[in-house]
Amino acid sequence: MRKGKRNKRIIITFGSAATGSSRRLQKKMFGLSFLDSKEDETPVPPPPPSLEVLPSEVSPSLNFTLEPVNLGELTLLKGRVSTKEVLGLPNSDLVPGVYEGGLKLWEGSIDLVKALRLDVQNGNISFSGKRVLELGCGHGLPGIFACLEGAAVIHFQDFNAEVLRYLTIPNVIANVPKKLQPAATIETNCQSGAEVRFLAGDWSQIHQLLPCVKYDEKDLNCHPGDGPTSGYDIILMAETIYSVSAHQSLYGLIKKSISRPHGVVYLAAKKHYFGVGGGTRRFLSMVENDSSMDACLVAEVADGSSNVREVWKLSVK
């Protein structure tokens, strides 16, 4: 496996509430009781159509509460909403093809923000003036951090429009200074000149809607690197590779969306997701076999009781 330069490898140790055996842990974290039932054989429904969600679509009647997330010298806010109230589903972490866990704040999002802060402080990355895409955003904390660090464009993507409408957008508004808050327009331009937009859809289709990706409907090709404003300089994602069945579509989206030749991807995930087969080892093996991107380990998070978590940086060769 190509791991690139590893002189910036960081070992982070901090507490986790996860306990128990690996398989029980994954069932608890992802609502995976269906793994031992006949529901495995139930076909996944077709993905919802891709669409843009505007800040004006947020419902003020939703029961939305805020809690602090302490990240050392940085404190962000995380929203809390009811899965039942938002989606009409029981409080499950995952319903394949229907709900992909966007209403829960996963450990990888916190790991990613911490790793990004260290890389910014060490001069390894700068968000100033950059185009940023957060995939599978949920609460959107990594994208929010990018906004606070001066990114020019921040696009948040999630599978469910409801997650963006009832969680991501209110969370961005709660965390970002008033002068940077997105306007309720189609362009969603911040007063600072930054552009914040929210896009819902499946990874196999969302490239058609991403503003920084040139999509040609006639020949079905994407051209992320055809000009100086094409593609995303930085792609962020946390806890997105738990399902092996989604690896190809996710990696395909990354290659269609990343700016060339200097675009980078920050990936936070567990080394293994027991019971569902995904994890950094399976995903990075696919990346290595493709031979178009290099991978460098940025951080390893170990607490001694739960599965090892990692943050990787991918760059275009």
In tens, the pLDDT along 55-78 reads 988 877 678 899 999 998 899 999
**What is the C-alpha to C-alpha distance for residues 232 and 67, in angstroms, rounded to an integer?**
30
Give domain status of residue 125, yes or no.
yes
The DSSP output letter for 262 is T
Give domain status of residue 106, yes or no.
yes
Q: What total number of domains does the chain contain? A: 1
Give domain status of residue 131, yes or no.
yes
- Tens digits of per-residue pLDDT, 139-169? 999 999 999 999 999 999 999 898 999 899 9
Give domain status of residue 152, yes or no.
yes
Give domain status of residue 7, yes or no.
no
User: What is the sign, positive or negative, of the torsion defined by CA atoms of 247, 248, 253, 256?
Assistant: positive
Q: Tell me whether residue 70 is exposed, middle or buried, using C-beta atoms within 10 angstroms of its C-beta: 0 to 12, 13 to 18, 19 or more.
A: exposed
**What is the C-alpha to C-alpha distance for residues 59 and 272, in angstroms, rounded to an integer?**
37
Give domain status of residue 304, yes or no.
yes
Spell out a b/e string for 128-147, using b for 16 or more CB atoms within 10 Å of the CB, else e.
Answer: eebbbbbbbbbbbbbbbbbb
**What is the C-alpha to C-alpha distance for residues 159 and 253, in angstroms, rounded to an integer?**
13
Residue-level pLDDT at 62? 74
Give domain status of residue 127, yes or no.
yes
| Nearest to 170, CA basis, from 70, 66, 50, 84 | 66
Mean pLDDT of 288-295: 96
- Give the domain CATH number at 279: 3.40.50.150
Q: Is the pLDDT of residue 225 over 50?
A: no
- Tens digits of per-residue pLDDT, 64-121? 899 999 998 899 999 988 777 776 666 656 565 666 665 788 899 999 999 999 999 9
Give domain status of residue 224, yes or no.
no
pTM for the whole structure:
0.80
Identify the domain containing residue 300 by its residue range. Answer: 51-183+193-214+229-316
